[in-house]
Structure formats: structure tokens, C-alpha cells
Amino acid sequence: MPFFALTMRIIRTILQIIILYIFYYMGVLIVHYTGLPLPASVIGLILLAACLQFKLVKVDYIREGAGFLLAFMTLFFIPPMIGIIDYPELLSLHGVILMIAVFLSTMFTIFITSTLSEKIEKKELAVKEKKDREGEGAIESSHIHH
Amino acid sequence: MKAVIFIISTVVIFLIMNQLYKKYTYPFLLPLLTTTIILVIILLSFDIPYADYMEGGQYIQHLLGPAVVGLAFPLYNQRHLISKYKYTIISGIFIAMISGLFTIYFMLRIFKLDESLILTALPKSLTTPIAMQVSETINGIPPLTAVLVMIAGFGGALFGPFVYKLGKIQSPISRGISMGSASHGVGISKLRDYSEEDLSMGSLAMGLSAIVGAILCPIFVMIFF
């Protein structure tokens, strides 16, 4: 890549990360003033998703910045993850119970969610098909009347 | 000075482990796992307290906030799926969240675990960055939450296909919703074996359930604690 294009791309990525920071700090302010029990970043995420949906922010304004941060996302939570060294409890009996319970809960959740979603999906598609067919029928009958 | 050394070594080890994972894509070579283990071994063998490491580590962690905000981007890209399967997605994600919260809560209550440990386990099905921040918000222990999130992820990735066989699940939408909302990114990486539709549904469900979970966890805590 030519030097100029590369420089422009880096500048663009940095500016876009600043936009993401602005949304993050809006989340921080909202949490500070309302005391909502939500992570500031999640509020920033909801705000940005809403702004994209309602076309208040163009997706081009964040594409490269978000892409860059998401590519390195894992790196950013390695420092808090290392905090595990202050919690040797994980290797105790309670730690083992905790892990087994999480495993069982996850398996049950996958089972119940996939089974029920499949039933709901069939119903949703059936209703949609029926609507489509009725829609076509209406057009056809209006045709006959003309 | 010390801070700079910790920042550089974390980034360098991560980049090497990331390359290694790109070459050999085994779940136990996930960069999060390998980088954490290497750094923990280094800190323990040189007797460096976590607080000292965090003098540098905090600057890396600081980027987690805007990175989570950036999750709006993939969510926005998959919005076409939402309009097509609106009711299935919304109800599926709520079923998964309610099932996950209640089953873990009652199991741990039966074994009379400390409240702080139960709080730590509640966000287990959310994607790691959001799970850790929710854990912090509800007074859990974020690094322990991250370990449990990994277990939920590996559990889903390794045994999810078996559950689908057992329940005779045929639809990519159902597999995507259930895996994305119970086992996040690690779990949905397994959906690659099924189809592209499984995968995009999975990542959409992961993003949506992270938002729904972040809202439901504190409400659940207000009611049951």
C-alpha cells in the first residue's frame, strides 16, 4: 500500500476509535447521572446501534475503527482475566461445583432453547406464508373485479 | 517504566499466540487461554503482584469500553436476519436467558454457595467482555466470571452437536440462537461445521443476548438477592 494511503487509513481508524470513545463516554455519563445498573459500554453499544439503525451515524464513520478494535478485542480483556491469580478458590470444592453447575446449565439452556425455537420458527414461517398467500389472493381477486 | 514493560510483553505474547492459533485452530490454543496462562506463570514465578502488573495492564483494558461499543457494527450488519425471524429470535433469546439464569441460580443455591460466587456465575452465557463488566456491575468477581464464561463456551462447542442430535434439531436458526445465547463466540465457532446461516445467526444471537443479558442480570439480582 502506498505510504500516503496507509497514513490516511491509520488516521481514519484513530478518528473512528475516537467516535466509539465518545459513545462509550456517553454511556459513562448516563450511568453516572442515572445510577442505572448497566455497564457503561453496553449503554454506548445500544446508543450506537440505535444511531446506526436510524441513520444518525453512517456505518462508514465507524467501520474501520470498530473492525480494528474487534480484531484485537481478546487482547483488551487479558489484563482483567489475569486477575484470576488473586482467586485460588477456583481450585477448591466450591470452584469445582461452580464449574459443573455452569456446564449443566449451559447444556440445558442449549437443549431447551433449540427445541422451543424450532417450534416457534415453524409457526412464524407458517403464519408468514399464510399472509403471503392471502396477499396474493387479494391481488388476484382485485384483478378479476377490474 | 515497569508499566511499559508489562504493556509490551502482554501485546507481544498475545500477537504470537494469535498467530499460533491462526496456524493451528484447536480450541485449547485460543489466544485468551494461552496468553493468560503464560502471563500468569510469569507473574507467579517472578513474584509480581497483580496490582503491579495492572499499572501497565489498565491501559490495555481501557480499550475494552470502546471495543464493546464497536459490537454495534456486526449487529447492524446482520439486521436483515432480525426482520425475517423477529418472533423466533426474540423469544429464543428470552428463553435462553431465563433458562440460564434460573438453572444456575437454583443449582448453586442447593449447594449453598456464597452469594458472591452465585453473582459471579450469573453472566456466564454472555460474551466475555460484556460478562466481565456485568459481573462487576452486580458485585461478582470479574476474572472468575471470565473462567466460567470459557466453560460455558467450551461446553457448548464440544457437546452442543450432541444435544442437537438428541433433540433432532434441523434448523440453522434454532442452532444459531441456542448456541449464540448460551455459549457465545467459542460455541458459535463450532457452528462453522453446519452452515454459513448457522454462523451468522449465532453471532447475531450472541450480540443480542449480551445486551438482553446485561439488562436482565441486574433485574434478576434485584429480585432474588
Q: Is residue B215 part of a domain?
A: yes
Residue of A nearest to B15 (CA): A75
Question: Each residue of A5-37: pLDDT tens digit?
Answer: 899 999 999 999 999 999 999 999 999 999 999
Same domain, B149 and B185: yes
**Interface contact flag, B64 A90, Cβ < 8 Å:** no
Same domain, A62 and A91: no
Same domain, A95 and A138: yes
Same domain, B103 and B85: yes
Same domain, A8 and A77: yes
Q: For residue A106, give the H/E element and its range.
A: helix A93-145
Q: What is the pLDDT of residue A141?
A: 52
Sequential pLDDT tens for chain B (225 residues): 889 999 999 999 999 999 999 998 887 888 988 999 999 999 999 999 999 999 999 999 999 999 999 999 999 998 888 888 999 999 999 999 999 999 999 999 999 999 999 999 999 999 999 999 999 999 999 999 999 999 999 999 999 999 999 999 999 999 999 999 999 988 988 898 899 999 999 999 999 999 999 999 999 999 998
Q: What is the mean pLDDT of chain A?
A: 90
Which of A45, A62, A82 is the C-terminal boundary of a domain?
A82
Residue A136 above 70 pLDDT? Answer: no
**Sequence-ordered alpha helix ranges (H) in B46-85:** 50-61, 64-70, 72-77, 79-84
Residue A139 above 60 pLDDT? Answer: no
- Number of separate domains in chain A: 2
Same domain, B58 and B76: no
Q: Is residue B187 part of a domain?
A: yes
Best of A48, A64, A113 to substitute, by most chain B Cβ atoms within 10 angstroms, is A113
Residue numbers in B near A70 (CB within 8 A): 67, 70-71, 73-74
What is the C-alpha to C-alpha distance for residues B135 and A77, in angstroms, rounded to an integer? 13
- Number of separate domains in chain B: 2
Q: Which residue in B115, B141, B43 sits closest to A87, CA to CA?
A: B141
Q: Between residues 113 and 132 of chain A, which touch chain B (CB distance below 8 Å)?
A: 113-118, 120-121, 124
Same domain, A39 and A91: no
**Interface contact flag, A110 B11, Cβ < 8 Å:** no
**Interface contact flag, A75 B166, Cβ < 8 Å:** no
- Banded pLDDT at A137 (limits 50, 70, 90): low
Same domain, B46 and B82: no
Q: Is residue B89 part of a domain?
A: yes
Same domain, B41 and B150: no
Same domain, B179 and B106: yes
Q: What is the pLDDT of residue A146?
A: 47
* Residues spanned by the domain of A59: 1-82
B128 touches chain A (CB under 8 A): yes
What is the C-alpha to C-alpha distance for residues A41 and B81, in angstroms, rounded to an integer? 24
Same domain, B216 and B151: yes
Residue numbers in B near A89 (CB within 8 A): 117, 144
Q: Is residue B33 part of a domain?
A: yes
User: What 3-state DSSP class applies to B47?
Assistant: coil
Same domain, A19 and A55: yes
Question: Each residue of A59-77: pLDDT tens digit?
Answer: 999 999 999 999 998 899 8
Residue A122, CA distances (Å) to A48, B8, B162, B194, B202 in order: 33, 52, 22, 20, 18
What is the C-alpha to C-alpha distance for residues B53 and B57, in angstroms, rounded to an integer? 6
Same domain, A36 and A102: no
Place of cell 441486574: B218
Q: How far apart are the first and last CA of chain B?
A: 44
* Residues spanned by the domain of B21: 2-62
**Interface contact flag, A74 B92, Cβ < 8 Å:** no
Same domain, B126 and B209: yes
**Interface contact flag, B174 A40, Cβ < 8 Å:** no
Residue of A nearest to B98 (CA): A109
Q: How many whole angstroms from its chain centre is CA B202?
A: 13
**Interface contact flag, B69 A24, Cβ < 8 Å:** yes
Residue A145 above 60 pLDDT? Answer: no
Same domain, A26 and A47: yes
